[in-house]
Amino acid sequence: MTGMETSTCEFDVLVIGAGHAGTEAALAAARLGAKTGLLTTNLDTVGQMSCNPAIGGVAKGQIAREVDALGGAMGRAIDATGIQFRLLNRRKGPAMHSPRAQADKRAYQQEIKQIVESQANLSLRQEVVQDLLVQSTANESRIAGVRVQGDVVYQAPCVILTTGTFLSALMHTGNSKTAGGRAGEGTTSGISGALRRLGFEIERFKTGTPPRINGRTIDFDRTEIQPGDDQPQPFSFMTKRLDVDQLPCWITHTNPEVHELIRANLRRAPMYSGQIQTSGPRYCPSIEDKVVRFADKSQHQLFLEPEGRHTLEFYVNGVSTSLPRDVQDAMFRKISGLENAQIMRYGYAVEYDFCSPQQLWPSLETKAVSGLYFAGQINGTTGYEEAAAQGLMAGINAALQLQGKEPLVLNRQQAYIGVLIDDLVTRGVDEPYRMFTSRAEYRLSLRQDNADRRLTPVGHQLGLIEPARWQLLEKKEEQIALALQLLRNHRYEGVSLEKYLRRPEVNWPDLQAVCPPLDDIGPLESEQVVYDIKYEGYISRQHVEIERQKRLAEQQIPTGFNFSTLQNLRAEAREKFSRVRPLSLAQASRISGITPADVAVLMFYLQNPAKRA
């Protein structure tokens, strides 16, 4: 090939970045029949856990279960490689139950890579993307592909950017600054430049990661053991049971002496010296932030989490920091059980570019460039699960666009994924977004245990779901229907067993004692029946609100609607409507700062087009 020649590769969908968002995006697009290319700067880091070696947690576990219900890889991968499984919030109601699992970090990464490599219609390649190629006409700009290092062009009508923390990334440890989005890896600046050239608003966030220490140097006798569940529950609905030799985690605490050391060195912390001026995740603060913001607390809990079965490396959850190395060493010498701990990898903070998610449609396609999608931390989120969910939806919608079909947009009543994406595109972000159960208005219905019943039928209709998964759900629904029939037809103490079960003190074994045929109902199916019946009253009230929101959502707003002409709207409302460009009254009502009066005015103009003038 001469210097004037350019090599060209053609795909239907290109996914840039092979982290948790990128792998799910590529797998989803390929499962829907699109010829998909997944490009990453390093094949050895596909699916890598950059921070904590765990999947799930409060609300995040619900998202991971939803990703699995739609055929995603995350649940299967953690079931295959998990080293400890726990169901959080067991003492609370079922809406708060959240699965979490420690992963064998390297095994998880290799499992995801193998799933990607085995997927039909999907090609995984090591490439460094340097530019985005766009074709512009008088009516629109449309993505055409990317240019990679070596002057090779990849052509595709749909491109999904899942670049994580690597856009113009800068790592900080004390006064030391290093270009890169992850320790030992570089950064990507060409994509940021291309996005600016295309008119995207780019901002910067920061995140951090704790030190890793050698388990051989931990005095576990001075810490508290945290075992996994006796009967671990799988993440994937396809996993029948988990037979796993679980490893424990360990708990220790900071103390006033540690806090005093940190305060004495705040001037050397990038966040407090002025070296870093960007926002970080408020709900996952650095140890420096904890000491300053919660000055009344004498200690903070730390979790010592093993990074795998075949390594002694431990992740110190709860002590994310960018303090200088000597301060990190001194800090650990004052923590119970870590007095002799050897740091293997020092903590650091990362600053990186992201794009305001209000520049996206609910399908995650960008408003400025057709066929270009964003997913993951490029949208201002944090967390593997949030990234995987966005990647999954972007991959689905890119493939659907190629088929000439309407995008799949899950609403807030259907899924935590719907809450996540609606929050991003409607309200935007002023700090890295993290999912919580409190963000979901309909969390009684959006439980982790019923994600398959909510979403697998959606995936089946699109062609995302393998036959075995669909057959499993059909059998589950048949058992649930049989159980409900038995409860309605059998009576005890003058009432049907269905009504009897609504009593707070009555549980499934009480029903089995008076209705032996219930013994044939499986544990997962009986759990669904118990939750649905016991919480029926609360769920019914939620459904009233859901119906109200549906009526609002049915009032659609044309894509090209000109909000600036609505003179009776407040100037702030006109500006926010014009920026977000909501597609329904329901979405318009959820924009931050929009009042019911603004929605009423908008509704009036939609119903009376002649009045707009």
Note the pLDDT tens digit of each residue in 345-375. 999 999 999 999 999 999 999 999 999 999 9
Instruction: Report d(CA 258, CA 53) in Å as an integer.
Output: 25
Give the bridge partners for 123, in sequence order.
37
Half-sphere exposure of 134 (CA within 13 A, CB side): 19
pLDDT of residue 125: 97
13 pLDDT above the threshold of 80: yes
Most confident of 247-251, 427-431, 576-580: 247-251
**Percent of the chain's residues with pLDDT above 90:** 75
- Give the C-alpha distances (Å, rounded to integers) separating 123 from 35, 257, 348: 8, 53, 33
548 pLDDT above the threshold of 80: no
Instruction: Report d(CA 250, CA 269) in Å as an integer.
Output: 27
pLDDT of residue 5: 58
Does residue 166 contact residue 316 with C-beta atoms inside 8 Å? Answer: no
Residues 39-58 have pLDDT tens digits of: 999 999 999 998 999 999 99
Q: Which two tokens stand for residue 76?
A: 């299967």
Please, is 348 exposed, middle or buried when counting C-beta atoms within 10 Å of its C-beta (0-12, 13-18, 19+)?
buried
Residues 55-87 have pLDDT tens digits of: 999 999 999 999 999 999 999 999 999 999 999
Quote the mean pLDDT of the chain. Answer: 93
pLDDT of residue 452: 98
Domains annotated on the chain, with CATH: 8-208+352-461 (3.50.50.60), 212-347 (2.40.30.260), 466-539 (1.10.10.1800), 555-612 (1.10.150.570)
Residues 424-449 have pLDDT tens digits of: 999 999 889 999 998 888 888 999 99
Average pLDDT over residues 196-222: 95
Q: Which two tokens stand for residue 222?
A: 């001075």
CB-based contacts of 426: which residues, under 8 Å, 6+ apart? 358, 580, 582, 587, 590, 591
406 pLDDT above the threshold of 50: yes
Residues 304-333 have pLDDT tens digits of: 999 999 999 999 999 999 999 999 999 999
Task: Tell me phi and psi for residue 305, to 5 degrees.
Answer: -115, 120
Q: Which two tokens stand for residue 442?
A: 């309909």
Model confidence at 7, pLDDT cuts 50, 70, 90, reads confident
pLDDT of residue 1: 38
Does residue 430 contact residue 279 with C-beta atoms inside 8 Å? Answer: yes
Helix (H) or strand (E) holding 351: strand 348-355
Residue the block writes with tokens 């004390």: 174
Average pLDDT over residues 515-544: 90
Alpha-helical segments (H) within 442-514: 451-462, 467-489, 497-501, 508-514
Residue the block writes with tokens 């088929």: 403
- Let me know the angle formed at the C-alpha of 284 by 104 and 257, rounded to the nearest 5 degrees: 95
Is pLDDT larger for residue 28 or for residue 549?
Answer: 28
| Count of all residues that appear for the chain in the document | 613
Instruction: Report d(CA 446, CA 98) in Å as an integer.
Output: 11
Q: pTM higher than 0.85, yes or no?
A: yes
Question: What is the biggest distance separating any 2 CA atoms in the chain, rounded to whole angstroms?
Answer: 89
Instruction: Report d(CA 195, CA 462) in Å as an integer.
Output: 32
Average pLDDT over residues 526-540: 89
pLDDT of residue 323: 95
